[in-house]
Chains A and B, each alone.
Chain A
Amino acid sequence: MRYALRRTGFFLLTLWAALTLNFLLPRLMPGNPALAMLSKFHGELSPKAINALDILFGVNTRQSLLSQYGSYLHQVVTGNFGTSLAYYPASVSSEIGGAIWWTLGLVGITTILAFILGTGLGIVSAWRRGGRLDSLMPPVFVIASAVPYFLVGMVLLLIFGITLHWFPQGFGFYVSTDKPGLNLTFFQDVVNHAFLPGMSLLITTIGTWILTMRNTMITTLAEDYVRMARAKGLPGRRIMLDYAARNAVLPNLTGFAMSLGFVVSGAILIEDVFNYPGIGHMLLYAVQGEDYPLMQGLFLLITVAVLVAILIADLLTAFLDPRTRAAR
């Protein structure tokens, strides 16, 4: 219990520090939202528009940094992030709300799949050490995880999208012929569009899960209690899953909880390559447009998600592995 409290306290302190950084960093960037808007419409808006934009965004009626910080903290607590500047006059929450589902769907499902498949393959290749699977998998995926995921994405897009026409070349669904809704056609359309970007992420992330799982599994297999189980004549399957894998999965589980936290930050480059309407691209756009409210909303979301995930991972490890508790 004391451990849990300490962890939670630490969590709150980190959260505050992260929130303050979120507030300060965007404001250290040169320029202001009105200038960014003008650059975005390079050639379309006259310089006279800067006057109108200044009034619109309240750039010239500047508040002091301290009072901005005050209203920022108030926004954080109330969950109201105001109006986006790059997507003016839409509200930050509605913009994030529109994009987050695409990211959760694409990156979230890919992360879960990568973890399950990777851990499974890691268990099996460690169990059949030196076998065919074991001599193929680790080298292949070490290489695959060293390749940047957007490069894999571009190659897949070129082969299966542009050349073979097996899969669509971008967007989250057929934007002009299909309308979003809870029906099978739309669902299949979405899966079809998510396949290539999802595959690029899967191919490049699965290697880490396989390797860590395989390595801890091999160490665990050398433990006395595994030998004991063998001596008792337990079936191989039971030793593999209940005796070895159950203990070996702990580091992977922590890693998994953390990567779930990072899911909300999206996959900027993949979303870019596949014109996918998720959070990652929105973040990039917010930074380019000096959209402080949207940046704050997004960074806060990401920070909180990661911190919560770490907290859960900590507590989960403590629950699963008594040694971490005893050490305190």
Chain B
Amino acid sequence: MRRLTTIGVFIGAGLLAAGCSAGSGSGSQGSGSGGGKSTSSSVLTISNENGATWTCAFSPFNGSDTLVSVGFVYEPLVYVNPLQNGATTPMLATAWNWAPDDKSLTFTIRDGVKFNDGTPMTAADVVFTFNMLKKYSALDLNGIWSVLTGVSQTGSNQVTMTFGAPAVPYFYYLADQTPIVPEHIWSKVSNPVNFTNPNPVGTGPYAVNPCTKDNITYTANKYYWQQGEPHIKKVEYPAFLTNDAANQELANGQAQWGAQYIPSIQSYYSAKSPDYHYWFPPTVNVSIVPNLTDPQLSNVKVREAMSYAIDRGQVSNIGETGYEPAANQTGIVTPTFNSWLDNSALASWGNAYDPAKATTMLQSAGYHKGPDGIMVNSAGKKLSFTVINIGGYSDWVASMQVIQQELKAVGIQVTPSNLTNTAFDQALYYGHYQLAYYDQQTFGPGPYYELTNWLYSPNTAPVGKQAATNYERYSNSHPAGLIRSYAATTDSAQQHSIVSQLEQVMLSQVPIIPVVEGVDWYQYDTGSFTGWPTSSDPYAQPPAWAYPDNEQVLLHLQPK
């Protein structure tokens, strides 16, 4: 007991000493945290763990700077909402149309838009931006020049893009994912690839003013083309090094817009104030990805049995504490893409947890239970696999434990191997694995984007070579043809029919096994601001890192 008291006295004495110096100092003492208590209620603070201090570089074509530059300072031609099947909002372009052969696309550029240095934005800036990406392929993050053949100005305010083949789905990357930069600044940069762009000039609602390693302050762009916007004149974006610090800012109300994974979110966050809300919209599937070059996994019956043997609801509840909902074998993320889901096909497949069916299926494939309870075939080959997983994602590790038990019940043994991010990616891209637990990297305005990445054979590569997508090494010309025909139609009914056929491929071939649906973490505080995206009004993808969706959120928000 005596020892404890001494520590107390020791600390107490220290605190007194420090209290003296602090008390006489800054007036913000006691307000809590580094983000600082907003002195005016109209300052919005964003909480999103960055993992490092800011570099104060704002090149919209540099992977590490896009999330602080695009949407705040730079704008796209058109906003395409991925949560509403690609609903469009005209931004720097007022109109656009595809030529009948879908091989050329013409944008009409908005008049009266100015960059934040007061110079007008014209069609020449748009043409310059696209041609700069052609010249410097290190800046072409979406590989748009793999389909583009040319971009040129037509008339006074029109820009025409031409393609080698029909490229309708690329509209998302061209119109929404490519920010427009001013020619009068970037044409003078000798090497745009390593241009830090410390004072970004763009057409967006905000300008950087100022940036330090610890915090970016955005203030309203006085030249902004939308009258009266933005309503929030100042946005603070502190550099959070860790998840805990970022979560703490949200819980104590210092930050109002969160993109954070918060464990036990009810008690830690939403219970603290009636104004604290969260919404986790599903975007992609988290799937078991079999390596189809493995002799046993190349058997569709084995993969189908695995799909039936996994109780997805259980994985969602235990592994993901219910935050990420169960997925289904069609590969359509629900409810986000509900309109694309072929319910009758899914019902006839019987998307249910059915271990008995899984066992029958394995028996019909020539497997019987061995003495250790693991299925074995006549050649003595056991259904025993290693599954690679990312060790840093504790939810995925927990999910895999559930999956492991469920598969064991039908006689399939999986042994998890928890790797670092980079080691995992390396194994996946080069095909050096048996099973992998993984979510698709690309999210687009429709299920086409994710399904293409899994099912388009030309994108795969033999084991030992890096595959661009299609890591399971699935080779089938039927879905590849479907995917190409989707690119050649702007007709929604036709697109839906193509996606239904792709769902059939997912159900009959089981190239991957979707387990749960990955979600966007998103928290919002209605105490000081209104107009947030919600599940009933999903006008934009809500996390602060999602660009250019962040701009839509910033334009919708109003101080209370």
Which positions in A face B, CB cutoff 8 Å? 29-32, 35-53, 55-56, 83, 86-90, 95, 98-99, 136, 139-140, 143-144, 156, 160-162, 165-180, 184-185, 188-189, 191-193, 195, 199, 203, 271-277, 281-282, 285, 288, 290
Is B212 an interface residue, CB under 8 A from the partner?
A: yes
- Name the 10 nearest CB pairs between A and B, nearest first: A171-B34, A31-B422, A188-B25, A39-B421, A175-B215, A48-B143, A275-B245, A89-B194, A176-B36, A177-B36
Query: How far in angstroms is the closest Cβ of chain B from A50?
Result: 8
Complex alpha-carbon distance, A160 and B29, angstroms: 13
Kindly state whether residue B15 has any CB partner on chain A within 8 Å.
Answer: yes
The distance in angstroms between the C-alpha atoms of A36 and B146, with both chains bound, is 24
Residue B2 at the chain A interface, CB threshold 8 Å: yes
What would be 24 A-B contacts, judged by CB atoms less than 8 Å apart? A29-B422, A30-B422, A31-B420, A35-B425, A43-B284, A43-B443, A44-B545, A44-B546, A46-B441, A50-B468, A53-B138, A87-B64, A140-B7, A160-B15, A166-B15, A170-B245, A175-B236, A188-B24, A193-B34, A203-B7, A275-B34, A275-B241, A277-B214, A281-B52
Instruction: Name the one of A43, A189, A273 contacting B441, with C-beta atoms under 8 angstroms.
Output: A43
Taking CB atoms, residues of chain B closer than 8 Å to A184 are 25
Residues of B within 8 A of A (CB): 2-3, 6-7, 10-11, 14-15, 18-19, 21-22, 24-26, 28-39, 43, 45, 51-53, 55, 57, 59, 62-64, 66-67, 137-143, 146, 193-196, 212-215, 217, 236, 238-242, 244-245, 248, 252, 283-284, 420-426, 429, 439, 441-443, 453, 466, 468-469, 518, 545-546
Q: Are B34 and A31 in contact (CB under 8 A)?
A: no
Q: Which residue of A lies closest to B141 (CB)?
A: A49
Q: Is B423's CB under 8 angstroms from A44's CB?
A: no
Contact of A175 with B441 in the complex, beta carbons under 8 Å: no
**Which residues of chain B come closer than 8 Å to A36, judged between CB atoms?**
421-422
Interface contact A89-B62, CB-CB below 8 Å? yes
Bound-complex Cα distance A67 to B22 (A)? 54
Residues of B within 8 Å of A162, CB to CB, are 248, 252
Q: What CA separation (Å) do A166 and B31 show in the bound complex?
A: 9
How many Å from the CB of A226 to the closest CB on chain B?
A: 29
| A48–B426 CA distance with the chains assembled, in angstroms | 15
A85: nearest chain-B partner, CB-CB: B64
Say yes or no: B423 contacts A31, CB within 8 Å: yes
CB < 8 Å neighbour of B426 from A30, A161, A282: A30
Question: Are the CB atoms of B425 and A169 closer together than 8 Å?
Answer: no
> Closest CB of chain A to B290's CB: distance in Å?
19
Residue pair A174, B195 in contact (C-beta under 8 Å): no
* Known contacts A35-B422, A166-B19, A175 near B214 by CB under 8 Å: yes
Q: How far is the CA of A189 from the CA of B214 in the complex (A)?
A: 14
B241: chain A residues within 8 A (beta carbon): 271-272, 275-277, 281, 285
Cβ-defined contact, B36 with A175, below 8 A: yes
Least CB separation from B191: chain A residue: A89
Complex interface: chain A residues within 8 A of B31 (CB): 165
- Contact at B212–A175, with CB atoms within 8 Å? yes
Report how far A189 CA is from B194 CA in the complex, Å. 35
| Cβ-defined contact, B217 with A199, below 8 A | no
Which residue of chain A has its CB nearest to the CB of B18?
Answer: A195
Contacts A31-B425, A39-B422: A51 and B64 contacting too (C-beta < 8 A)?
no
Query: Which B residue sits closest to A154, measured CB to CB?
Result: B244
